């Protein structure tokens, strides 16, 4: 029964993911689409029947293919599952969420609260599970062992018996620090991730910034390190092609870098060289003043530098002004922010 149900459900979910493969959504939109739309149909089955590993693997593969379509370098799924404050994108982990839903129901049934299957399935089977001489499937036994291994607060406290807490508990068991945070442990990553996820910054900008911060943009230097090309030279100008080169130094990109610094000085007059680097290249402005507008400017700057083939100052300022105008019409609570944004209107 478990196998037939999951075979049908996972095939349907997979089809619903692939149905949207040709839509031009960015990384953030794709993850939202998976979390809210594609996976929602799974959870009804997941709270009743244990999800066999072979189907969770099939689903993980489909999700990864969809999320990373068009990308040369990818991040591990363990990172995408992390909370946004820890360098992830809060992509729901199918296996753990399924386990959390089922666990919640078993715990509820154990206390005689409710039985989602309506046929006393769990009440009948709990004594068998507890007796350990059960003829039940291996996957149920694994879940039962997991329940028994939980800290007493999860197993006995009513308040803790909701799916979210069980899910968080399961996710914490195999938490991994993103590679980039291990590589640069001295950066204030908590600030950087929080800034990157700030509300009212377009997801297209956030997508570029996320790839930039994680260094998964295929520069010639990176490709050379992986033996994918003979030379580290920039295809446009012949210099060493690194991310820093692309955003600050490559041909006309240099004029955009100068413009972005000039804009930053308008918002923050007494800022110094170190502040410009820390704001525009690291997304961690060393000031609390005008936080939104500095992060907004840095995100727009990085997005423009890394996605537009020609670096034209008019085009860059036009992109910023258009986005600022969009914010203005959206919500009058933004008036404070907009006052700061008007500073950006250079006489170009
Ligand atoms: Zn170059």
Q: Which residue has the higher pLDDT, 281 or 176?
A: 281
Residue 127: the pLDDT is 66
**Collapsed DSSP state (helix, strand, coil) of residue 233:** strand
Residue 242: the pLDDT is 96
pLDDT band for 322, please (50, 70, 90 cuts). Answer: confident
Residue 104: the pLDDT is 83
Task: Give the largest Cα separation in the chain, rounded.
Answer: 80
Q: Which residue has the higher pLDDT, 277 or 108?
A: 277
In sequence order, which residues have a C-beta less than 8 Å from that of residue 38 and are 6 or more positions away? Answer: 13, 16, 17, 20, 63
Going from the Cα of 253 to the center of ligand 1, the distance in angstroms, rounded, reads 9
pLDDT of 189 over the 90 cut: yes
pLDDT of 69 over the 90 cut: yes
pLDDT digits (tens, 9 = 90+) for 124-177: 666 666 665 555 566 666 666 666 666 655 555 555 567 888 898 889 887 889
Going from the Cα of 35 to the center of ligand 1, the distance in angstroms, rounded, reads 38
d(CA 221, CA 74): 17
Going from the Cα of 28 to the center of ligand 1, the distance in angstroms, rounded, reads 28
pLDDT digits (tens, 9 = 90+) for 223-265: 999 999 999 999 999 999 999 999 999 999 999 999 999 988 8
Residue 61: the pLDDT is 96
In sequence order, which residues have a C-beta less than 8 Å from that of residue 185 and are 6 or more positions away? Answer: none
Q: Which residue has the higher pLDDT, 53 or 343?
A: 53
Q: What average pLDDT does the structure give for the chain?
A: 85
d(CA 189, CA 293): 19
Residue 348: the pLDDT is 46
Asked if 2 contacts 139 with a C-beta cutoff of 8 angstroms, the reply is yes
pLDDT digits (tens, 9 = 90+) for 293-313: 899 999 999 999 999 989 999
pLDDT of 333 over the 50 cut: no
Going from the Cα of 247 to the center of ligand 1, the distance in angstroms, rounded, reads 9
Ion ligand 1: residues, CB < 5 A: 234, 236-237, 239, 250
High-pLDDT (> 70) share of the chain, %? 79
Average pLDDT over residues 39-44: 91
High-pLDDT (> 90) share of the chain, %? 58
d(CA 322, CA 290): 20
Going from the Cα of 272 to the center of ligand 1, the distance in angstroms, rounded, reads 26
In sequence order, which residues have a C-beta less than 8 Å from that of residue 105 and are 6 or more positions away? Answer: 47, 48, 114, 115, 116, 122
Average pLDDT over residues 313-318: 90
Going from the Cα of 311 to the center of ligand 1, the distance in angstroms, rounded, reads 12
* Element spanning 324, H or E: helix 313-330
Q: Which residue has the higher pLDDT, 190 or 335?
A: 190
Tokens (6 digits) for 338:
């907009």
CA 210 to centroid of chain Cα atoms: 8
Going from the Cα of 267 to the center of ligand 1, the distance in angstroms, rounded, reads 29
């Amino acid at each position: 029964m478990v196998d037939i149900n999951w075979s049908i459900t996972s095939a349907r979910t997979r089809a619903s993911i692939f149905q949207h493969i040709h839509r031009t959504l960015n990384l953030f939109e794709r993850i939202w689409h998976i979390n809210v739309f594609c996976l929602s149909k799974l959870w009804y089955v997941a709270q009743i029947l244990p999800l066999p590993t072979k189907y969770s693997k099939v689903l993980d593969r489909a999700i990864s293919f969809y999320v990373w379509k068009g990308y040369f370098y990818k991040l591990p799924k363990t990172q995408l599952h992390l909370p946004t404050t820890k360098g992830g994108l809060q992509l729901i982990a199918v296996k753990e969420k399924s386990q959390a839903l089922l666990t919640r129901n078993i715990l509820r049934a154990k206390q005689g609260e409710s039985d989602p299957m309506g046929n006393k399935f769990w009440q009948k089977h709990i004594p068998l599970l507890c007796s350990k001489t059960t003829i039940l499937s291996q996957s149920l036994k694994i879940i039962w062992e997991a329940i028994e291994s939980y800290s007493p607060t999860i197993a006995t406290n009513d308040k803790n018996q909701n799916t979210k807490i069980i899910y968080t508990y399961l996710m914490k068991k195999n938490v991994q620090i993103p590679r980039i945070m291990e590589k640069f442990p001295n950066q204030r990553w908590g600030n950087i991730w929080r800034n990157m996820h700030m509300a009212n910054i377009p997801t297209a900008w956030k997508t570029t910034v996320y790839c930039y911060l994680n260094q998964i943009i295929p520069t010639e230097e990176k490709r050379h390190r992986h033996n994918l090309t003979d030379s580290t030279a920039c295809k446009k100008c012949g210099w060493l092609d690194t991310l820093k080169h692309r955003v600050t130094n490559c041909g006309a990109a240099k004029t955009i870098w100068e413009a972005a610094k000039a804009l930053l000085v308008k918002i923050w007059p007494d800022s110094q060289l170190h502040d410009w680097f820390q704001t525009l290249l690291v997304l961690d402005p060393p000031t609390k003043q005008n936080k939104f507008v500095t992060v907004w400017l840095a995100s727009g700057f990085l997005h423009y530098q890394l996605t537009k083939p020609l670096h034209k100052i008019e085009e860059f300022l036009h992109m910023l002004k258009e986005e600022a105008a969009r914010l203005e019409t959206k919500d009058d609570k933004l008036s404070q922010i907009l006052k700061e944004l008007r500073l950006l209107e250079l006489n170009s």
